[in-house]
Structure 1
């Protein structure tokens, strides 16, 4: 059995409060989703705005392998906007619960049925694939739900049951979809929201009940508590239910980080499958088990989903974890030196501190008396900013690996942004390093306060977190980024 994946990251996902993508952002995500292997990309809602239509048009003109879809209401103006964007299909959403019909539409059930049929006929007359979606279906009367789907059965191409406010349970989900698929001849989709944290489980149960297509979003983003997470659903289907999709699992982590970066929605560390802690281990007993056999504490290999195993050092770590971590980092130390490093890690852990790679390197430097080798050194930094002046920064870096200078200039929304952009631009030919997080905290009061900057940088699946303090925020920021870059290049 193979289940189709309908990705709504660019529509339902973009409806996450505070998120707004540019047309070029939407295109970049759509291309990544297509490479990931999704079957349908819901590129947006064409009626929303001129910018939304521009974004959808960019995607449809790219000639991607995936079916490109637009969300529409049962209104000709919505369908016309979708037609203008040259999409392959429409996701026609029709309210189906008594509360939606009475209070939102203020219509009778018969009027709703007429709306749906007229909209489907209009769309089919214009050559569109139609997925008829029942909004709030899980609070609808089952008889009306079946009636709605049957009204469109000889016209539409697919139907979809929407758990709009996330009130399904896995048991109810499987039962509901068994009933619907026994009555409806068309392929049935499932669209779940995560209000009670059940979206992934409900989606899998719906598929067990007969659904052949699932609506998902990358990282589970979406309105309120979000939607069923693409990465969770497809991996659960494969490894727990032996059900296949067309998704290239090894690209999941990469696509997750792209969406997080462009939508400015950091992935929680404990997020299943793609979180930084999904395959991270600190407890001594766990790391000891991993060293003997990774299957002791990992249900699947992190590489399968493009993630990476991480050994975290802290107060719960054992000596074997430290030795294993040092080996991974290519650091040789005597037993006495390992004992000293171990003691310092425990001291930091008891203070409630997470020992980052930068912290570990500082401890190693202190114990072994070795400096961190700077592969790239900051020679010069110039920043110009002021009233009515777009901030611009120039950097000159010394790349010791090839003994050459890297000189670049970049603009930014502020002087710090310009400086970091210039550094990242300068090293782009050496390594693709992304700034994932940036935090600033003032230590003390007054205009001369010390500023502590924390940056989290990523190179592939490797991440480092570095903190630097200085009275100058630009200097603190650039120094933190430079140290992080050198750590990632080790």
Structure 2
């Protein structure tokens, strides 16, 4: 027995563009259209609403020209209206060959919005479908507010379906327009329609107002729908539409007898492009495409992955063109560190690994995430041979100020063995002010500080503004030259840490 095939219609460029603040340019729409059809392999795309604007018309026209050259024109669809042929005329000029006709799927919408009887509405729909057919345009029909129609006016819904069954339409599309359905209702309503009209091609269009869109998609497929309407990143009005990334994963893993065309490994690539074009950021914890969803943070999970992949599931990141990561922070264990060191081609003995792990945990208490790229700096700091001294000098506290129009200043408290000194000084920068105050302390002790001969700061490539940085300072006394390092997410603090090491060495 062959698998049942489900069509996937992507409506990112039409329904998804109704996300507040989103408007794709003509070139962005063409680029996304190409990716959806050629890279992600969706079956159809709904790219616009008819009659919206001149810019929309040009975008649709460009997509249709490309689609005609590449034999995709029958996969390009636009939303149209029961408007005595105005939408059909728009389509003919734009070159579109498939209309998704918006009709009323609930009695409330029909009575209070159109103020018409079912018979009047059906007659006007019939005229539009006939005109489309005469002009070589195929018709699918949306039953707007169908879910409320099934809840509150089922007699009307079935009266409509009786009528539309007699018309030359390719697909009957059932939207949960306001995202009100529960999975149980989705199951009941779709089953009832499917049993009553076994020969209709039925599409289901879910919205996510209760965060149930993916669950409702799953139930709709179980109950025999022929097609699903989805958007990249779940974009859409209010809480959005059913996300293509989640729906595809759910169908593949929980309904293996269902065949869909989507190329999973391209999902992340398309998702990130849509994120860039739309300006709508993907939440870090969004299933499949969020930055953190394939990142193990707890050390016990990394350890379990080392021992027969105990924390793996069927949602392997490689399916979606991604890689598993092991976060570094206060919950890290040795296994997390080792996973990241392996990726960098580094290996430490047990004692050094313990020291590095402890340093990562300390840093994680102050900085939310330590990156893999930070590790070489942490290793350098922890294993720094210049750190092997008895600590007799500590910079107990300091206040650094930097104001426009005023010289930077520093107030410091330094403990030298059992004696505490406080001083204040100004300088050309915060660290210079710190060093001037420190010089005052050492003059009281009749001691001389080494000369600072070189100063460099390094930050891991590709880091953010909160990245760890490493400051390396070269010092020179009468009889030797040596360097010290400091590691922190604040560059001035790095320099102070390196300076404290110097104070103990001398």
With normalisation by structure 1, the TM-score equals 0.74
Residue 122 (structure 1) shift:
1.7
The superposition leaves residues 348-375 of structure 1 with CA deviations (integer Å, 9 ceiling, x where unpaired) of 22235222334434323423569xxxxx
**For residue 361 of structure 2, what is the aligned residue in structure 1?**
346
User: 1:323/1:149 Cα in 2 relative to 1: closer, same or farther (>3 Å)?
Assistant: same
Name the CA shift for 1:447/1:192 in 2 (closer, same or farther; >3 Å): farther
Contact 2:340/2:372, CA 8 A, preserved across alignment: no
Give the superposition deviation at 1:186: 1.8
Counterpart among 310, 321, 335 of residue 336 in structure 2: 321
1:145 is aligned to 2:157: yes
User: Does 2:119 correspond to 1:78?
Assistant: no
Match of 1:467, SS?
A: coil
SS of residue paired to 1:43: strand
Contact 1:231 1:274 in 2 (8 A): yes
**Conservation of the 8 A alpha-carbon contact between 2:359 and 2:382:** no
- Kindly report which structure 2 residues correspond to 1:122-271, keeping only aligned pairs within 5 A, or say none: 122-140=131-149, 141-153=153-165, 154-184=167-197, 185-242=199-256, 243-271=258-286
Taking the aligned partners of 1:444 and 1:130, their CA distance within structure 2 comes to 68
Using the alignment, how far apart are the partners of 1:98 and 1:203 within structure 2? 24
Gaps of 5+ in 2: 386-400, 409-428, 430-459, 468-488, 490-506
User: Is the CA contact 1:356–1:466 (under 8 Å) kept in the aligned structure 2?
Assistant: no
Aligned partners of 2:148 and 2:285: how far apart in 1? 32
Alignment coverage as a number of residue pairs: 387
Contact 2:106 2:148 in 1 (8 A): yes
Greater mean alpha carbon deviation, residues 19-28 or residues 147-156: 147-156
Question: Alignment RMSD, CA only?
Answer: 2.5
Mapping of 1:43-122 within 5 angstroms? 43-63=47-67, 64=70, 66=72, 67-75=75-83, 76-122=85-131
Instruction: Give the direction of change, closer, same or farther, for the CA distance of 1:156–1:444 in structure 2 (3 Å limit).
Output: farther
* Structure 1: stretches of 5+ with no match in the other structure: 371-442, 451-456, 458-462, 470-479, 481-490
Q: Take 2:315 and 2:187, find their aligned partners in 1: how far apart are those partners?
A: 26
Aligned position for 1:13: 16
Would the aligned equivalents of 1:279 and 1:298 in 2 still touch at CA under 8 Å? no
Aligned partner (choices 22, 26, 40) of residue 23 of structure 1? 26
User: Does the CA-based 8 Å contact 1:357-1:465 persist in structure 2?
Assistant: no
Give SS of 1:166's match. coil
> What corresponds to 1:483 in structure 2?
none
The equivalent position to 1:467 in structure 2, one of 460, 465, 473, is: 465
- Secondary structure of the 1:278 match is coil
Report the CA distance shift for 1:364/1:71 in structure 2 as closer, same or farther (over 3 A).
farther
CA apart distance, 1:111: 2.2
Aligned counterpart for 2:381 among listed residues 360, 363, 366: 366
Q: Which protein has the larger Cα radius of gyration, Structure 1 or Structure 2?
A: 2
- Structure 1 residue 99: deviation in Å? 3.0
Does the aligned pair in 2 maintain the 1:132–1:149 contact within 8 Å?
no
What CA distance in whole angstroms lies between the structure 1 residues aligned with 2:29 and 2:405? 41
